Structure 1
């Protein structure tokens, strides 16, 4: 989507706030002993109360209102009977639509106590996203996002999952630009135009390189097996840089 007027920006910000509040409501309710299906129901109820529609359900017939990925699951985890436990890393990925506008956000949360290396991975995963967002703006190269994140990851001794990319969003869950690398990509020549709406969502890992399919045709796992975290915002490219629309307040 390309934002062309204030009404469009307001519509995008409205659904952006909803998905952000949904995610943080779920995170606040998360506790050892609950199932991922129970956690998903909290997200579903919040979305419905706000008049929003789950994007993975409406777009792909995903079997859940939100994606919940625990530990070895790195993306698109299906809510179900899995029981959360102390020490788990839990990724919540919430996307939804309202009044024709779509927004997408995600973050990895910790159920304490978490081992120090994983705590550091979470903090650096969020920082990697922020570094990518800082590269967003009118006329800037899309490759700048992955180049900046790649430099950060290499300096800190991390790897990046290289087949899960950022993407355009706004009038659909996935749209132009369909794939924006969050790792260095020498073949990327496109530039961001003013008003472009996209996600920035690096998958930072302690050794993982690729996402592989699981047995349920939805859940993705790291290859080679390694801890992975993901943080995501929906942003708009402007002359002043990135405007983040998936903020709760």
Structure 2
């Protein structure tokens, strides 16, 4: 099958994806209990892997394209794909945790940017706007709209607040594979791109910078950071287009139960 072929899911498949995505939400909720000054992202990675395996699933990031860990942990100016390490998180840091699972053959994928202790108001505002932009994009994920409608909604909202949208990295289709067609950019024009149809499952994930949109790919082959080293935020939900509109399969409810994020 052509890698650009968009695979529509049945109701049964969407239900299986809901279970996998709910587990991602539970994992992020578990991690939120431990995110505080002094903890390392490698410790968080170990907690995540054990939690996912204890629930009968596989961490999809581990070994994906050679990635060495079960979560991506991106701190402050790191945009995405940060490799967990032994550096303790500090008061005032932010950390984006991106997590994926495979349960009963179907993938879940979600990300959330957490505050470590007390964070500057201007940084917290970046997080708030990025999270709000995610839902602005989801509102556009309706049958007979187009990918560009999602992208434009996210871009317009973030730029209206003075932030910039990363161009090099995008959301994606998801199903039996973590990355499927179509690509879902966070910038673009309304009315352009692939047509949205019932049964499409996509991961929408704004990656928004406080400063310039320009990014640098680090020498580790994974980590992407802002060129100006200003903070970046990242939030992601997996959604299914069902009965004409977006149904969110992942969840932040477990995070909200356990933290001040």
Using the size of structure 1 for normalisation, the TM-score is 0.94
| Cα distance in 1, alignment partners of residues 194 and 30 from structure 2 | 37
Name the SS of the counterpart of 2:114 in structure 1. Answer: strand
Q: What is the CA distance between 1:187 and its match in structure 2?
A: 9.3
2:178 equivalent among 173, 177, 182: 173
| Cα distance in 2, alignment partners of residues 191 and 159 from structure 1 | 26
Residues 23-63 of structure 1 deviation map (CA, whole Å, 9 limit, x = unaligned): 11111211211111111111011101011111111432311
Q: What is the CA distance between 1:173 and its match in structure 2?
A: 0.8
2:97 equivalent among 92, 99, 104: 92
| Cα distance in 2, alignment partners of residues 146 and 186 from structure 1 | 8
Show the counterpart of 1:190.
194
Q: What is the CA distance between 1:185 and its match in structure 2?
A: 4.4
Task: List structure 1 segments (4+ residues) > 4 angstroms apart after TM superposition.
Answer: none
Q: What is the CA distance between 1:225 and its match in structure 2?
A: 2.8
Q: Which runs of 5+ in 1 are unaligned?
A: none
Using the size of structure 2 for normalisation, the TM-score is 0.90
Contact 1:208 1:225 in 2 (8 A): no
Contact 1:169 1:198 in 2 (8 A): yes
| Cα distance in 2, alignment partners of residues 225 and 31 from structure 1 | 22
Residues 41-96 of structure 1 deviation map (CA, whole Å, 9 limit, x = unaligned): 11011101011111111432311111111112111111111111111101000011
Name the SS of the counterpart of 1:85 in structure 2. Answer: coil
2:41 equivalent among 36, 41, 64: 36
Q: Is the aligned partner of 1:126 residue 2:131? A: yes
Name the SS of the counterpart of 2:29 in structure 1. Answer: helix
Show the counterpart of 2:163.
158
Q: Is the aligned partner of 1:59 residue 2:40? A: no
**How many residue pairs were aligned?**
247
Measured on the aligned residues, the alpha-carbon RMSD in Å equals 1.6
